[in-house]
Structure 1
Amino acid sequence: MILFLKREHRARPEYFEGIRDQFSVAMGIGAWGLMTGVAMVQSGLSPLEAVLMTLIVYAGSAQLAAIPMMAAGAPLWVILVAAFCVNLRFVVFSAHLRPYLMHLPRWERLASGYVTGDLSYVFFARRYPHPSDNPEQRAAQQAYLMGNCAVNYAAWMGTSLLGVALANAIPLAWGLGFAGILALLGVMCSLATSRLRVVSAGVAGAAAVVAWALPLKLNILVAIACAVALCLLLEPLRPAREGTGRV
């Protein structure tokens, strides 16, 4: 991607800091990508279809949600709705990143949104909790994000394509996706820096388990809705509690 190779990004130390941070979870992302590539072919997609899905969709959870439906011959609208529900979290990501990226040209905003994954967003939000009006700081933030996304993109695409190529040699029983889940859990735990975040994560996890039997992976949507609703209810109470030192 041209965004990863822009000279103004590579000239900044924040770009390489983003690369370094994302490398800490690259192995988990790679294991998840490898498993997804294997799953696509073993579920009945041709190697060409699997490669195109990897390059175009670039969304592991949506791919894993859509693959069994495609194999079962589900209607297209059902597959699209399931993928949409699974990826609703990116609406939240994009809303949060909007003030960071609004100074960029439209094509660059769209490209940045496409290459920003879950962990790229997490690392960026943790490093830069607030946007800046300073052009120099904005450039530093964008460089960090692109360095982070470069590793995420390379790890996912490379291992997914490797999984497609080696689909008949790597059994799904190996459970490689569990390594990716562990990587996400590690980052999630590092972000649990307030009571509200801990409670919302617990509520989301409980809701996902309770709603596990719902079709189309809708338990994920239920979990997101419950966590967001809880945060909206509790957020107005935070200033008063913070003032009393009880947070």
Structure 2
Amino acid sequence: MFVLASVRRLPEFREGLRSSAPIAPGIAAWGLMTGVAMVKSGMSVIEAVAMTLFVYAGSSQLAAIPLIVAGAPAWVVWATGFCVNLRFVVFSLHLREYLIHMPRWRRLTNGYLTADMSYALFTARYAHPATDAAGRAAQESFLAGNYCMTWCAWMGASLLGIAVGNAIPEGWGLGFAGVLCLVGIVCSLAATRLRVVAAVVAGLVAVAAHAMPLKLNVVLAIGVAVLACLWLERGGPAGKEQAA
């Protein structure tokens, strides 16, 4: 993966690699099952590889795959991907002050490669943007080390999953294994009461609206869960407790 030599030389880059190393196996497992799911859904190997390389968004990919296979209109696929990835709007707004001094192409590169855990690890390490050139370089280097590790883990495992999914018969049940993997990831991320509420609300709405065409129940579930959490954070009965 392309990373500027000036960024790679700083010690913060290696620190970023080390900080992401413990989560790399989990990201790889998710990427492996996403690769399998793409092939088993009916996508060709070329289509699956192209989606892996250009989209780089596991949850959005998994949400869009059944819609694409079902022949859903493009706007439905786009709306689903938009809803699933709304969190990156918040990430971008937060990271703006850290990256605004960079040229546009570097901001776009950092934005594309920064995933959930990269953002979490970076903001935990640097609560505020640096104000001097050396500090800014160190922060970019740490962020690059983070997303270098996660990107390599995701891409390598996804491509392996595409190869495995294309070679292994469906009777082996890899599709169900992918569902179990995602359930495990969801459970591991449900570390706060608000996240538990979001998961429960989304699950109930998705099941209740299962009869909707084109998997629109998924889009509806995401929207309702987001609105419910926003209400709880701003003034609902659990908002004050969560803030505390």
Query: Secondary structure in 2 aligned to 1:52?
Result: helix
Q: Could you report, residue by residue, the CA deviation over 1:113-137 in whole angstroms, capped at 9, with x for unpaired residues? A: 1011111111111111222212222
Q: Is the 8 A contact 1:89 1:224 kept in 2?
A: no
Equivalent position of 2:62 in the other structure? 64
Opposite residue 64 of structure 1, the aligned amino acid is L
In structure 2, relative to structure 1, the CA distance for the partners of 1:206 and 1:185 (3 Å cut) is closer
Gaps of 5+ in 2: 210-214
Secondary structure at the counterpart of residue 109 of structure 1: helix
CA contact (8 A) 2:36 2:175 kept: no
The answer for the alignment partner of 1:204 in structure 2 is 198
Asked if residue 220 in structure 1 is aligned to residue 218 in structure 2, the reply is no
Which residue number corresponds to residue 14 of structure 2? 16
Q: What is the aligned-residue RMSD (CA, Å)?
A: 2.4
* Farther-moved stretch of structure 1 (8-17 vs 220-229): 220-229
- Matched positions, count: 229
Alignment of 1:119-158 (within 5 A): 119-158=117-156
Measured in 2, the distance between the counterparts of 1:79 and 1:133 equals 41
Measure how far apart 1:179 and its partner are.
4.5
Alpha carbons 1:36, 1:60 under 8 Å: kept: yes
* Aligned residue in 1 for 2:100: 102
Kept after mapping to 2: 8 A contact 1:28/1:179: no
Q: Is the 8 A contact 2:33 2:181 kept in 1?
A: no
Q: Report how far residue 112 of structure 1 moved.
A: 0.7
By how many angstroms is 1:51 displaced? 0.6
Q: Please, what TM-score do these two structures have when normalized by structure 2?
A: 0.84
Shift of 1:180: 6.0
Q: Which runs of 4+ in 1 moved over 6 A?
A: none
**Mapped partners of 1:33, 1:95: distance in 2:** 26
Question: Offset at 1:233?
Answer: 3.5
Deviations 1:145-174 (A, max 9, x none): 100000111111111111111113274246
CA contact (8 A) 1:40 1:67 kept: yes
Amino acid at match of 2:204: V
| Cα separation, partners in 2 of 1:200 and 1:131, compared to 1, 3 Å | farther
- Aligned residues of 1:124 and 1:144 also touching (Cα < 8 A): yes
Percent of residue pairs bearing the same amino acid type: 46
* Matched residue type, 1:79: V
Give the Cα–Cα distance (whole angstroms) in 2 for the partners of residues 120 and 53 of structure 1: 21
Match in the other structure for 1:166:
164
CA distance in 1, matches of 2:204, 2:187: 19
